[in-house]
Amino acid sequence: MMAKRYFNKMLNEGIVPTKHTYNIIIWGFFLSLRFETAMRFYEDMQSRGISPDVVTYNTMINGYNRFKKMDEAEMLFVEMKEKNIVPTVISYTTMIKGYVGVERVDDALRLFAEMKSFNIKPNDVTFTTLIPGLCDAGKMAEAQIVLKEMVDKYISPKDNSIFMKLLTCQCESGDLEAAADVLKAMIRLSIPTEAAHYGILIENFCKAGMFDRAIKLLDKLVEKDIILRPQISMDVEASAYNPMIQHLCHHGQTGKAEVFFRQLMKKGVLDPSSFNNLIRGHSKEGNPDSAFEIIKIMARRGVPKDADAYKLLVESYLRKGEPADAKTALDSMIEDGHLPDSSLFRSVMESVFEDGRVQTASRVMKSMVEKGVKENMDLVAKILEALFMRGHVEEALGRIDLLMQSGCAPNFDSLLSAVSEKDKTIAALKLLDFCLERDCILDVSSYEKVLDALLTGGKTLNAYSILSKILEKGGISDWKSCEDLIASLNQEGNTKQADILSRMIRGGETVQGSKKGKKQAAVSS
């Protein structure tokens, strides 16, 4: 509107506008989407006897294009030629742009051919106008021909977005070779390739099962540090890198996958799927330490870990003969909220147990029971027995207590028998005492084995104490070695205990028979 005021001022001061003046102001009003005003100036120009030139026609055609008035634009284009005003590359390009805008791509192609027949050479704008229109119309074969012509003439467009569109549309059409040619065209025209360009091809090669081609592209992407270029505006999408990483990790190339993904991480990518595939890949390839490093990175960055990835890691450590590390990985798995299955618990318990790490196996067992896993009781029994044998009695009793609370009581008779027969008399005594306090049901033979072991080991007071408790609970009263125990107590000077025990056995008394009975027995002695 300021331009219009100056135009009016020119007229008021008697300055006659020229063709150039009208061309400028008509272009300005079309640019401002003031169609009616632009048309009035065009009519005023003609009324003053000023004939339009090629610039005027190009401006008017472009204005009509902006308002999707292609019929009017066509009429002007024909009129221009009838007046022997030769259309320029701008004229043809503007018409082509208009046809593309109203989805008349065949007419755009017709004009493209016509301009070349008149030896008018298309410029970069012509190509970048026509190619996207061909893509939108699904004319990918024609788009490929036009692209080839552009490359052969070494015309490098200012708008590089057409290559992304070409790549995408060629892939969608299923012509991956044509899509690959787009990338080659960019390289030949010295147009900077970005990670996203490679990503589209990688994704579609993966979808087509052409992983060798995808890997070659990935190698170039990594070797040239394309992902890390600071001027990169388009990154690789997850739909491209996830299947690529998964394939590499499933086919013994996890190291290559990790190098690629670490570049993505520097760009801020924290994709859980790729992380977990790296764990799986390293684990399957026998590199559990590398897998555990990935887990540490995930932990620092708050990326969730999959249960099956953890399981593969634990199994990898076990295959490598590193049970302690397998247990560490299992602990991490549990801390992350995953529940290992019973077979995984068993594998770790067996491995550390066979490695002589009984207390470590005991801790795995504790975790298993606390998580409600009630299988593997045969292995639990072995671990409990080993704890007693090694003198870890309190720990063993604590584990038994946990098992009982979980409804998984061990076979006490078997445990008592094993411990007694191997001369672990104090362990046997504490286990039997534990059973008596909790009113566990035991075979008579279990009592006798413990008592026999105590008596044989010269632990007469211990034997007296536990036998008293057995009798209080209504247990055995006809132990064949009872007289031997009484005799041993007397010989050792423990006559008071010998007399009480004698009365309990012969008189049928029990310590349960009241404090008075106890007092009388003491006085008698």
DSSP per-residue string spanning 352-399 = HHHTT-HHHHHHHHHHHHHTT----HHHHHHHHHHHHHTT-HHHHHHH
User: Which residues have C-beta within 8 Å of that of residue 100, sequence separation ≥ 6?
Assistant: 108, 129, 130, 132, 133, 136
Q: Is residue 478 part of a domain?
A: yes
In which domain, by residue range, is 452 found? Answer: 441-525
Say if CB 511 and CB 504 are below 8 A apart: yes
Say if CB 164 and CB 197 are below 8 A apart: yes
Split into its structural domains, the chain has a count of 1
For residues 292 and 523, what is the distance between their CA atoms, to the nearest angstrom? 71
Q: CA distances (Å), 225 to each of 231, 238, 261, 476, in order?
A: 12, 18, 12, 83
Alpha-helical (H) ranges within 83-123 are 89-101, 105-117
Q: Is residue 499 part of a domain?
A: yes
Torsion of CA 13, 18, 21, 27, to 10 degrees: 140
User: Which residues have C-beta within 8 Å of that of residue 62, sequence separation ≥ 6?
Assistant: 27, 30, 94
Say if CB 97 and CB 61 are below 8 A apart: no
Q: Is residue 324 part of a domain?
A: no
Residue with the two structure tokens 């690789």:
236
Q: Is residue 491 part of a domain?
A: yes
Q: What is the pLDDT of residue 203?
A: 93
Residue with the two structure tokens 């120009």:
45
Q: Is residue 310 part of a domain?
A: no
* Lookup: tokens for 479: 């132990």
The one-digit pLDDT tens for each residue of the chain (525 residues) are 899 899 999 999 999 899 999 999 999 999 999 999 989 999 999 999 999 999 999 999 999 999 999 999 999 999 999 999 999 999 999 999 999 999 999 999 999 999 999 999 999 999 999 999 999 999 999 999 999 999 999 999 888 889 999 999 999 999 999 999 999 999 999 998 888 999 999 999 999 999 999 999 999 989 888 888 876 667 888 898 999 999 999 999 999 999 999 999 998 899 999 999 999 999 999 999 999 999 999 999 999 999 999 999 999 999 999 999 999 999 999 999 999 999 999 999 999 999 999 999 999 999 999 999 999 999 999 999 999 999 999 999 999 999 999 998 999 999 999 988 887 888 988 998 898 888 888 888 888 888 888 888 888 888 888 888 888 777 665 677 777 878 888 888 888 887 887 887 765 544 333 333 333 333 222
Q: Is residue 497 part of a domain?
A: yes
Instruction: State phi, psi for 55 to the nearest 5 degrees.
Output: -65, -40
Length of the chain: 525
For residues 169 and 162, what is the distance between their CA atoms, to the nearest angstrom? 10
For residues 59 and 488, what is the distance between their CA atoms, to the nearest angstrom? 126
Q: Is residue 523 part of a domain?
A: yes
Q: Is residue 205 part of a domain?
A: no
What is the DSSP secondary structure assignment for residue 175, as one 8-state letter? -
